[in-house]
Every structure is written in C-alpha cells, then in structure tokens.
Amino acid sequence: MISKRIINRSRANFSIIWLPLITIVLFAGCTENGQPLEVNDETISNEEQVTDWLAYGRTHSEKRFGPQDDINVNNVQDLKVDWYMDLPGDVGLVSTPLVVDGIMYFTGTMNIVRAVNAVTGEFIWSFDPEVGKSIRGKKQAGFVHNRGLSFYKGKVFGATWDGRLFALDANSGEKLWMVQTFDPERALYITGAPKAFKDKVLIGNGGTENGPSRGFVTAYHADTGEEAWKFYIVPGNPAEGFESEAMKMAAETWKGEWWKHGGGGNAWHGFTYDPDFDVLYIGTGNGSPWNQKIRSPGGGDNLFLCSIVALDPDTGEYKWHYQTTPGESWDFNSTMDIVLADLVIEGEEIKAILHAPKNGFFYVINRANGQLISAEPFVETSWATSIDLETGRPVETENIRYENGPVYITPGANGAHVWQAMSYNPTTGLTYIPALHEGFVYTDAGIDLEEWRSVEFVGGTGVWLYPPEKQPRDYMASLIAWDPVHQKEVWSVPQETFWNGGTLTTAGNLVFQGRSDGMLLAYNAESGEVVWEYNAGLGISAPPITYKINGRQYISVLVGWGGIYAGVGGQDAYDMGWAYGVHSRRLITFSLEGEADMPPLPEPYFPQPLAVHEFEVDQNLVAKGANQYYTRACNRCHGSGGISGGMAPDLRASAICIDKEAFTKIVKEGSRVDRGMPHYKDINEEEISGLMHFIRNCANAGLASD
C-alpha cells in the first residue's frame, strides 16, 4: 500500500481528523492469537521474534540485529520504497523508531511523538509535549532533536529537551504522567531515549559543557512516575556528606575542590539492562570541565567519569565499574552503546559487553565480574598506545594532558564513535561501527587555571582546541566491521562524508547505514561489498530498523540530517547542501514488494549571503557580537562563523538580521520559541546590535570568498 501524509505540528487538527483511526490501532494492535502483546522484560529479551522492534537497540541486548532473512544479500537489489511519510515541519531527525504490534512509534523535532501504522504508514496519533511553552521565559540549553522512546507494558516513554519524562497510553497517545527530572533553571538538557526495565524507567541528561554540572541518572516507577532511585555519577562536596558508599569511594580519586566545578560525568545516552545478571549498565560522560588541572588539580582517576557503571536495577546501588579513560581531559565520553553479546574466546564462553567509546579503543568486558578481557584501538589513538590487560588501564603517551604545551590528540573531542549506533551480528560475529577519524590540537596556554570558572549557561571546557595541520587519514569517516573475539578489523569502507548514521545488521547477511550525503546503503556483512544503494535526497543521521508483518520484512529509517555536527559544523556542514527549510524530512520504509511512487526532494541548496552595502559594519560591535554569538550558543544551531549546516536559518542570508525591530522580536521577545529558537530576555540593545554586526561581518566574509 502507498501512503503519503503531510504532517504539521497542530495537535488539535489530528485529534479531530484522525480520531476514527484509533479503531485501526485496536485492530492492528493484536498478536496472531488475538491477544495484545505484553511488552515486558521477557518479550524485550526475546532475540528470536521477528515481528517487532521493541526497544532502542531492538532488544535488551542492544545488538540492533534483525533475525529476519527475507531481505538478504541475494535479493536486496530489489528493495524498494513501500511507504513513506513527509514530515516537513521537522528539522533534525536522529531517532530509532519502535515497532510494537503493527504500530510504529517515533520521536521528531521538539520531542513530538507520533504513532503510525507500520504496514501502511497511516497516521494514528501524535503527542506534543509543547516544549516551546516549557522553555518560554527561561534560559535554555539544548537541542530540538531526540534519539528515541521506550515501550513497556502498554506505555510509551519519552523525554524532553527541558528535562521532562513522560508516559503515554500506547493506544491513544494520551498522557498518563509527566515528571520534571532536573531543575529547569539548570543548564541541562535531554536528547536521549529513556530506558524501561523491571517496571521502572531510567533517564539521565546532558550539559557537561554548559556549566558546573554534576551528572546523575534517575529511575522512576513506570506505572506512576514516582521516583524509585537516583545515582550520582561523581561525588559532591564531602562537607555535605556522601549519598552512598560508592560516592565515598569515588571521592578518593578526586583532588582539590572538584565539587565547585560540578565534576561532570553526565550520562546522556547508553543505558543497557542485562537480564542474564539482573544488572543495569550506564555509560558515563566526560569531566566538567575537560581540563583536569582545573577540575581535579593534582590528578586522580576521577571516578566515575568515562566509565561503564553496573548498578542494581531495583535500588540503583553500585555493583562494579570499568573506567575507560582515567583522568579524562579530552571529552572522551563513554556514553556510547553498551552491547551484550555471548562470545567464545579461546574456547571459553563469555557473556560480554562490547563498547566502543569516543577514546578509540574497542573494549570487551566480562559481564560476570566487570573484568576487562581485551581492548584494541579501532582507529588511530595518539593518547595511548594500548590498554594494559593486567591493570585495565591505558598506557598513556607523553604530554597528553597538555602539561608541556600544545599537543595533537586523536581521536579528538568529536570522538572515534559517538551516539550513532553500532550493531552486532551474531552470525558473522562482527560489530559494525560508524567511525570518525579526526584529531585536534589541545592547549590550555593563556588560561588562568586557578581562577577559571564555568558559568551556568555560558559553560566552557577549560582548554582550547585547534584543527591540526594534517588529519590522521585523508578521509574523515569509515564504516568498520570489527571482530570482538580477535580484536581486529575484518573490513572497512572509507567515507568522504563526516557524521554518518548508525548501523543495522540482519540475518540476511546485511549491514545497512545511511550517510550524511543522503545515500542509504546495504553492505554484504561478511565482505563489506556494497550490494544496494538508495538516494534519499537528504542527509541521514538516524539508524535504520527492521521488522516483519504478515510475512513481509521491512527496513525503515528517518531521513532528517541532524545532531550537533549538523548544527555547529559551519562551512563543512553547509557544504552538504541540506539548508534549513528546503528538504522535507521523511520517514521511509522499504520492502522487496514496495511500489510507492515517491517525489524526489529538491537538489542540495546553498543559501547565499545577502549583500547589504548600506549596512556599515563596526568592528567593535562585531567583537561584542561574536562574544554573544558563542556564549549564548547561537552557533549550536546557526553554525560556526554564522554559516548554517541546516539546523536553523543561515543568518547571513536572512533579511531579518538587518531589521533591528524584527531581530529583537525573535532574539529578545521569543517570537519563534515554538520552533525551537530560545529567547534571551536579558540581552541589551548593544548586544543585539553586536549580533547584527557580527552576522553582517560573516555575510561579507562569505561574499568576499565567492
């Protein structure tokens, strides 16, 4: 069947027009024996079922492995669009849809949740948490994008940029409960998917770089939204007493007055529940600030930064941890996927964790005891030569904490692997990693290490980064097939494009990945040979999923260039041609039988700076404006140097930016808060003028370079 839906943001419209479709939900929402499927820990742990995609990484193991082989290496050439949905009001789409009992649930821009028929693409319901209303009048840090949802016992769980966690009735989309998970006056945000397990739902937050942040995760009762437990990731001020023995232990690895800087560790992505051992793993973030000389002068491991921490899922009590990056100083989060796999290593069956964090090493950890089994670099790692298997610690190279001046470090702060999902195929025994090859020069020259303070909503890292003269490779990204047993690369595909999407692998001997240039590709999972490709007409940042209904296997992906690089990337992101408002976002679903006739999207588009000769640029105001532009994080969506990668309008091309009245309405009075543009009530007239002069200066630079 073919379906095309134009979606706008008006929820009121939907509830009237689409109410009759709820009957379809009830019809579709049944298993083969007519009973609704109960999604609980047992069903989420079932690796064999082929119909659904029940959790962020498909099952509790987070493998992103589809056991279906209807679509396989021999027939994938026939894969065609089955149905699609246009989402023209959305911006960056990075989420993993869920499929439960014939219904697909996914999260879009500004945390809007939608449910559609997974066979036809017909719209069923949407829920708008009204993020614009919530952030109005407040200082804000955050993003319009979100990575996904959780499903448990008839409820859909989502979380918002401004820190709310909510439960919806999966049938109707009605809100059942909603709680605020952090003080909304703090410079924190949520872009991640909540994790539901054992009648609870867990959420963390991001914001390590936005102020003096102390990371924590909180579990809530899935039924009521009542708080069940909270786990702090780094210790607070000892004078106030430690919350747990774990914090007391962690405090011994910190020096100075670390609590004044928050410490960091914010867990914003990787959460895995392990039913084999009844343990919850959280992946923790980097330090606040990055520079350890400020954060913990005199060193120390700084637990539990950049670690996998195993917790009791019922109480949140600490069980064990493995720290990938002691004394973190480079933004080397360990918040990336935590994948559960059963491996045979030297004849021994091991229940393992697979983890490929930003620092560039691939870790295999024994889930029975938290012991490191092996670790090898999957990209160039200039900060450490190897990991000592006796101690589990990295063998560090010289001057990596920039003690003796500037130092080139690879991977850099963007990491070797970020939130774009890796997948593990138990048939090939390979992990498929969307990897980045990039380094930076780090230095803290000129920074007063004793006086440096991170200010809430201004933030900072306590270190300067510069691009190096030469990057580690002449390409910036690759798809790597990694053998975790022998810790070696089996094949890899160099990629010219940076910031590609996550991966899906299937029993059809396939790996699927979308690229930032808009290509969706299928590879032979054993050899890396390209066996199918499709031009989606817009950069893909989200990972594909698969499911099977009425004997037909589907591959589905959100097409919607997004994430932080699409925002801050500047010229390189601009050069992709995915300008703001030009290319409608889409949800595309493929099958071998697909017959949908889909109109193409516009060609890549490059907004041209306006030439405004009568606007005389004042360099004093430009300097003031540049300061405003970066400290108020305008660059996160409008791009470095005022060059937009497509997450927000290119200000150099905007007539509003030369009209002070119109500009003030947006920046100070918040006339576009509903579209995700924060407002800054405290900004003064000179600062507004400064921003306008800075933008004109960027425009003139762009015009001069043409």
By the criterion CB under 5 A, which residues form the site for Ca ion?
A: 208, 286, 331
Let me know if 331 is a catalytic residue. yes
Q: How far apart are the first and last CA of the chain?
A: 47
Which residue stretches of 451-594 are H helix? 564-568, 571-574
The Cα 688–Cα 657 span in angstroms is 10
Q: Would you say 285 or 543 has its CB closer to Ca ion?
A: 285
Q: Which two tokens stand for residue 434?
A: 């969307």
Please state the closest distance from residue 209 (CB atom) to Ca ion, in A. 6
Strands 585-591, 552-559: pairing kind: antiparallel
Q: Would you say 335 or 584 has its CB closer to Ca ion?
A: 335
The Cα 241–Cα 695 span in angstroms is 49
In terms of C-beta density within 10 A (0-12 exposed, 13-18 middle, 19 or more buried), how is residue 606 classed? Answer: middle
Please state the closest distance from residue 326 (CB atom) to Ca ion, in A. 17
Q: Would you say 81 or 564 has its CB closer to Ca ion?
A: 564
The Cα 553–Cα 354 span in angstroms is 28
∠ CA 553-555-557 to the nearest 5 degrees? 160
The Cα 632–Cα 614 span in angstroms is 28
In terms of C-beta density within 10 A (0-12 exposed, 13-18 middle, 19 or more buried), how is residue 242 classed? Answer: middle
CB-based contact 299:292 (threshold 8 Å) = yes
> DSSP readout, 240-309?
G--SSHHHHHHHTT--SSGGGG-EE----S-EEEETTTTEEEEE---EESS-HHHHSTT----TTTTEEE
Options 162, 331, 337, 444, the catalytic residue: 331
Q: Which two tokens stand for residue 265?
A: 């560790």
The Cα 337–Cα 275 span in angstroms is 17
The Cα 380–Cα 378 span in angstroms is 7
Please state the closest distance from residue 629 (CB atom) to Ca ion, in A. 21
Q: Would you say 564 or 573 has its CB closer to Ca ion?
A: 564
The Cα 480–Cα 378 span in angstroms is 8
**Which DSSP symbol is given to 234?**
S
The Cα 553–Cα 79 span in angstroms is 10
Q: Would you say 90 or 331 has its CB closer to Ca ion?
A: 331
Please state the closest distance from residue 521 (CB atom) to Ca ion, in A. 29
Backbone angles phi, psi at 9, to 5 degrees: -90, -5
Please state the closest distance from residue 331 (CB atom) to Ca ion, in A. 5
Q: Would you say 208 or 334 has its CB closer to Ca ion?
A: 208
Sign of the CA dihedral 329, 435, 642, 134? negative
Please state the closest distance from residue 478 (CB atom) to Ca ion, in A. 22
**Which DSSP symbol is given to 254?**
-
**Which DSSP symbol is given to 581?**
T
CB-based contact 313:60 (threshold 8 Å) = no
Q: Would you say 109 or 208 has its CB closer to Ca ion?
A: 208
Q: Would you say 308 or 555 has its CB closer to Ca ion?
A: 308
The alpha-carbon radius of gyration of the chain (Å, integer) is 24
The Cα 623–Cα 626 span in angstroms is 5
CB-based contact 107:159 (threshold 8 Å) = no
Please state the closest distance from residue 413 (CB atom) to Ca ion, in A. 7
Q: Would you say 331 or 489 has its CB closer to Ca ion?
A: 331
Please state the closest distance from residue 330 (CB atom) to Ca ion, in A. 10
Residue pointed to by tokens 């004093």: 620
SS3 636: helix
The neighbouring-strand residues paired with 594 are none
Q: Would you say 357 or 577 has its CB closer to Ca ion?
A: 357
Q: Would you say 202 or 418 has its CB closer to Ca ion?
A: 418
Calculate the alpha carbon distances from 68 to 15, 61, 118, 394, 638 in Å: 36, 17, 16, 39, 41
Q: Which two tokens stand for residue 366?
A: 């024994």
CB-based contact 125:103 (threshold 8 Å) = no
State how far Cα 319 lies from the chain centre: 27
Please state the closest distance from residue 258 (CB atom) to Ca ion, in A. 17
Please state the closest distance from residue 79 (CB atom) to Ca ion, in A. 37
Please state the closest distance from residue 286 (CB atom) to Ca ion, in A. 5
CB-based contact 556:589 (threshold 8 Å) = yes
SS3 100: strand
What amino acid positions are annotated as catalytic residues? 331
